């Protein structure tokens, strides 16, 4: 039987949620948590141990976590390293991808992880490791676990790995030679004719496209401008009256700040699931610095403060939803005569 070492976070490892995000790495023999969704589908292989680590702890202590994984690699001597799937969880995705990259480069064994296409870890690590396509949330766990197990079985069996679209992994930026019974000119004409006739076709060379954003004109005199405060850090009035989700938000809120000099603890809170909210709840101005804006207005640095806070959560929010919410905010701000915006994150 081939041996597999598995990595997951505190949530899927069944230790806890955000309150356990600083859990130090620990190891459990056999499959634990979501490793149990993959283990039965492995052919002639078994998950000999599961490493569990809090997302925050890994992100802030990468060298220590790699050292811990090195110790487990030496103890269990696996033939394959699996991590995730991480879906659209940014911190979890970075931990999975970093662990895989470390193991593959340090020990020379194959590794596999999986995540959603908008996970920030994808662009950071895709050229170094195999990252399979996964759903946006744990709702696709069954399908993603099946895909990871199938790909792992091919690696363990020493089978040739096909092209990204054939195997379901994200392209690693490498060009490979593929033999065809038609030369390039004929294939190009075939693609052109298919395009003209509205028929499906697939290009052999995808060209990267980048959205061009025209920067706004500079504020001529900030001391006379009306400035608004926006945040994607999830700061909302206590009780979250607009029910803004902790992740994958599709809505935003606009909250009256009239008569306030600062965001008072107890009256405001963070509903963001992408960071530990303790310090933000202790002082909401750490994420949405309204107190500092008031000070700048008193000193004459800015002319006027827009008396509303616009807020949502950027945690795992899709680009399309983020663009739509941004356009909605801008429409409101322009109508209210706002000339500049301070946008804070986490």
Instruction: Give tens-digit pLDDT for 26-52.
Output: 999 999 999 999 999 999 999 999 999
Q: What is the DSSP string of 151-173?
A: HHHHHHTTPPP--HHHHTB---S
Kindly report the pTM of this predicted structure.
Answer: 0.67
- pLDDT exceeds 80 at position 174: no
How confident is the model over 293-325, as pLDDT tens digits? 999 999 999 999 999 999 999 887 878 788 899
- pLDDT exceeds 90 at position 179: no
Instruction: Quote the CA–CA distance of 199 and 37 in Å, as a whole number.
Output: 40
Higher-confidence residue of 273 and 150: namely: 150
Q: For the ranges 103-112, 170-179, 215-224, which has the lowest average pLDDT?
A: 170-179
Burial class for 297, CB neighbours closer than 10 Å (0-12, 13-18, 19+): middle
pLDDT given for residue 203 in this prediction: 85
pLDDT given for residue 123 in this prediction: 87
Architecture of domain 2-167: 3-Layer(aba) Sandwich (3.40)
pLDDT given for residue 208 in this prediction: 67
Non-local CB neighbours of 244 within 8 Å, separated by 6+ positions = 234, 236, 251, 252, 253, 271, 311, 312, 313
What whole-number percentage of the chain has pLDDT above 90? 79
Instruction: Quote the CA–CA distance of 267 and 79 in Å, as a whole number.
Output: 53
Over residues 195-207, the mean pLDDT reads: 86
- pLDDT exceeds 70 at position 226: yes
pLDDT given for residue 177 in this prediction: 77
Q: What is the DSSP string of 291-328?
A: HHHHHHHHTTSSSEEEEEEEE-B-TT--HHHHHHHHHH
- pLDDT band with cut points at 50, 70 and 90 for residue 180: confident
Non-local CB neighbours of 311 within 8 Å, separated by 6+ positions = 230, 231, 232, 233, 234, 235, 236, 244, 252, 253, 255, 288
- pLDDT band with cut points at 50, 70 and 90 for residue 205: confident
Numbered ranges of CATH 3.40.50.280 in the chain: 2-167
How confident is the model over 9-20, as pLDDT tens digits? 999 999 999 899
């Amino acid at each position: 039987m081939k041996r597999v070492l598995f990595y997951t976070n505190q949530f899927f490892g069944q230790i806890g949620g955000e309150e356990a995000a600083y859990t130090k790495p620990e190891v459990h023999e056999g499959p634990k948590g979501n490793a149990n969704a993959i283990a039965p589908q492995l052919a002639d292989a078994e998950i000999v141990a599961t490493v569990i680590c809090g997302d925050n702890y890994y992100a802030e202590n990468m060298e220590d976590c790699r050292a811990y994984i090195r110790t487990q690699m030496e103890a269990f001597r696996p033939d394959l390293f699996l991590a995730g799937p991480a879906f659209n969880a940014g911190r979890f995705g970075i931990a999975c991808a970093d662990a895989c990259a470390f193991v593959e480069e340090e020990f020379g064994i194959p590794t596999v992880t999986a995540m959603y296409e908008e996970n920030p870890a994808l662009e950071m690590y895709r050229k170094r490791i195999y990252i399979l396509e996964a759903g946006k949330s744990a709702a696709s766990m069954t399908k993603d676990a099946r895909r990871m197990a199938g790909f792992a079985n091919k690696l363990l069996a020493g089978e040739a790995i096909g092209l990204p679209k054939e195997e379901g992994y994200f392209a690693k930026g490498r060009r490979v030679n593929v033999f065809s019974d038609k030369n390039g000119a004929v294939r190009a004409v075939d693609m052109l004719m298919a395009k003209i006739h509205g028929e499906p076709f697939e290009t052999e060379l995808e060209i990267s496209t980048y959205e061009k954003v025209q920067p706004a004109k500079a504020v001529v005199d900030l001391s006379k401008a009306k400035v608004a405060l926006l945040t994607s850090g999830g700061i909302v009035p206590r009780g979250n009256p607009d029910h803004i989700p902790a992740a994958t938000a599709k809505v935003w809120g606009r909250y009256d700040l009239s008569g306030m000099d600062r965001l008072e603890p107890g009256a405001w809170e963070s509903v963001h699931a992408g960071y530990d909210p303790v310090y933000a709840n202790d002082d909401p101005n750490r994420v949405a610095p309204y107190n500092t804006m008031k000070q700048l207005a008193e000193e004459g640095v800015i002319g006027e403060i827009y008396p509303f806070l616009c807020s949502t959560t950027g945690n795992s929010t899709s680009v399309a939803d983020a663009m739509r919410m941004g356009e909605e905010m801008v429409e409101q701000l322009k109508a209210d005569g706002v000339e500049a915006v301070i946008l804070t994150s986490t």
